[in-house]
A and B are shown apart, each in its own frame.
Chain A
Amino acid sequence: MWNTLYNWLDERLGLNDLYTNLLDRPEPLGNWWNTLGSASLFLFLLQGATGIFLTVYYTPSPDHAYDSIQYIMNDVAFGWLIRGIHHWGASLMVLVVFIHMLRVFVTASYKYPRELTWLVGIGLLLMTLGMGFTGYLLPWHQMAYWATTVGTQIAGSLPFLGDFVLKTLRGGPDLSALTLQRFFAAHIWILPAALVALIGAHLYLIIKHGESHFPDPED
């Protein structure tokens, strides 16, 4: 019975091919440092899942953002847990992605033939920081408001283009409802979409070239 079902699915989905190409791959001897990439992916998925839950109650407007988070924390069943995981997961994700980058740097895994994997990886690191920056404003509390004021000011210190960048980030000369709205859009649509695309490219390249081995004196 199960065999029939499996064979039926295999003929149509190519399960056996998936198994040989994705799972049954030979790899160089790895150690615990090799788990940081998959840990980053896990954290991304966790942030995605908890983030989706949060958008059910969160309202991206200056009048309601703070109160909607108070509501999530105090009145929604397990809202505090979802928000807590999302809050701490963000910090941990920045940390894990950064250490993953350091590991790749130290073992020189960015060299031939994995140059593009590194390039995409730096894109992922910067987007993760972008997620942290945009997400920090969303609770609309004093710390968020003033940190973003200063953060966008720093981006606005760019010569010539500074004023344009500042107004693009804030949606005007000052932090306003528009700023919150576009940080929200960037945080839940623009950056995640770009992240998913880059993660896809990153994973394809890893499967294509395999994980690098730890260097020995021969290398």
Chain B
Amino acid sequence: MNPETKQKINAKYERELQRGEFFWPDSIFKDVIVSLGIFLVLLLLATFVGVHDAPKADPSDTSYIPRPEWYFLFLFKFLALYGQIPVLGKIEWVATVVIPGLAIALLTLLPFIDKTPHRYYARRALPLAIMAILVLGIVLLTFLADVPTVAADGSSLLGTLQTLAGLVIPSLAYLAFIMFAYRARENAVRLISWTSLLAGVLMIGCTVATLALHQPAAAEAAEVPASLVDRIVAGQDLYSIHCVECHGEDGAVTTIEGVKGLEGKEIPPINGKDILYTLNDASLSEVIAYGRPDAGMNPFGKAYNPEGLTRSEIDYIVTFMRYSWDDRFEKPQIKPLFPPLAEGEVPSYAVHIQPIVKRYCISCHRPGKDSYNYFMDTYENILKSGDDSDSNVIAGDENSFLLQVIQGTPIPDTVNPGKDLIGVMPPKGHLKPDAIEAFRRWILMGMPETAEDAAGLTWPTPAATPKP
């Protein structure tokens, strides 16, 4: 840059200063307003949106789909799209190192590449167009981040549209910009502007089409229990599924009964000081995760068993044990398993039956357990699975097997007289009267699934139908 140009630039700046403002108070005033606005936005976000945490890190849970912070999503998407290019797509470091590195280098050295003294927008069509397409690409790739490149039905339409929006159109536009900048002297600005506009519209079009065609899978709301009460309840639910068979509902079992392979095994009770005072939370978690091979306890962590418990889940079980059985900890008020039934109210699967089943039945009645194939893990399975699927749950019938056995009446075996086909359930202990009442009302009124289904029904008051 020659001295005259520099002088011209400096003289122009002086003139601008003459008709300008003062840092204090003019500029500072605006700065303070914006900073205060930002602070307010942060306060609102922190208060009303909060921070959504995932479960604790678990190196053995390799099925977890990684997801970076949102401002890196576009890079992930770019990598995915780049990987689709034949031949070149196999050389990963071109996309991970060369292209981002080149972009950062160009951006850093910008003042030394773009050395013309021109600052007015119309004289800088090329850099402005390049940046506009780049930023638009980043924004669109961020929006596309959750759309897979290959649809569930195997069609590659989505992938093609995304590659068009994220790679092909921008590349073509860049080629055109450079060609116009060096070939079309007088019309360059007009041509570059129109090309960038066209490219931008096409890119947005492809993105909108992709998003419209893509049916997002119902997002699994992985709610992480936040409060202590939530963690204790989560732990109790998990305990009722995984631990209760051997250790019993209150952890007091000393001789295992009715568990294949472990029948008659002597175990220490896990609800006493011997365990709870001598093992801290970390040690208890280790025992659950890695088992006690010498004492016959299986490992329950994911490291040994792909179906196993995650780090967080094990932590919840330990929290449940601490607050329920360790006398140094005071158990907080925990809301009942299901809302108490009002007079005439009919329970529903979603609100009443599912929590009871999860707590008391599903430990044995789930796939992989020997329970005459009667699984209680879903609404459909409760109604229709098992060797006696026709008799287990019959709408409106007091003789439904399920109702018989939970009320203490075993089902006699018609083939082998004198033996029971199904014993009383649960095999150890029995359901509380309010849970039995919930099951009775639910089956006799036709097993409503949701609270809305149940709302239309009324359970006849005792006066109308005298109970035995």
- Chain A residues with a Cβ under 8 A of chain B: 19, 22-30, 32, 34-36, 38-39, 42-43, 46, 62-63, 66-67, 69-70, 73-74, 80-81, 83-85, 87-89, 91-92, 94-96, 98, 102, 105-115, 118-119, 122, 126, 129, 132-133, 136, 139-147, 149-151, 154-155, 157-159, 162, 174-175, 210-213, 215-219
Task: Report A-chain residues with C-beta under 8 Å of the C-beta of B339.
Answer: none
Residues of chain B contacted by A119 (CB below 8 angstroms): 108, 111
B265 within 8 A of A: no
Asked if A27 and B118 sit within 8 Å, CB to CB, the answer is no
With contacts A115-B112, A217-B122 taken as known, whether A81 is within 8 angstroms of B47 at the C-beta atoms is yes
Is B23 in contact with A213, judged by CB distance below 8 angstroms? no
List, in ascending order, chain A residues with CB within 8 A of B57's CB.
Answer: 62, 66, 140-142, 144-145
Q: Among residues 282 to 300 in chain B, which have CB atoms less than 8 Å away from a CB atom of chain A? A: 282
Residues of B within 8 A of A (CB-CB), count: 81
Chain A's nearest CB lies how many Å from the CB of B24?
4
Q: Which residues of B contact A115 (CB under 8 A)?
A: 111-112
Q: In chain A, what residue has the closest Cβ to B227?
A: A74
Chain A residues in 8 Å Cβ range of B226? 70, 73-74
Would you call B369 an interface residue if the criterion is a C-beta within 8 Å of the partner chain's C-beta atoms?
A: no
Pick the contact of B135: A25, A43, A85, A102 (CB < 8 A). A102
A154: nearest chain-B partner, CB-CB: B96
For the complex formed, measure the closest distance between the CB of B339 and the CB atoms of chain A, giving whole angstroms.
25
Q: A105 near B53 (CB under 8 angstroms)?
A: no
Chain B interface (Cβ < 8 Å from any Cβ of A):
1, 6, 9-10, 12-13, 16-24, 26-28, 30-31, 33-35, 38-39, 41-43, 45-47, 49-51, 53-59, 61, 64-72, 75-76, 79, 92-93, 96-97, 104, 107-108, 110-112, 114, 117-122, 124, 127-128, 131, 135, 226-228, 282, 315
Contacts of A144 in B (CB 8 A): 54, 57
Known: A27-B21, A88-B46, A175-B59. A142 touches B38 (CB 8 A): no
Q: Do A84 and B35 touch (CB < 8 A)?
A: no
Q: A88 and B42: CB pair below 8 A?
A: yes
Q: List 16 A-B contacts (CB under 8 A).
A: A42-B31, A73-B51, A108-B119, A110-B111, A111-B114, A111-B119, A112-B1, A141-B53, A141-B56, A142-B56, A143-B67, A147-B69, A174-B59, A175-B59, A213-B20, A219-B118
Q: Which residue of B lies closest to A84 (CB)?
A: B46
The 7 A-B residue pairs with the shortest CB-CB distance in the complex, in nearest-first order? A84-B46, A146-B66, A145-B57, A23-B24, A115-B111, A215-B119, A219-B119
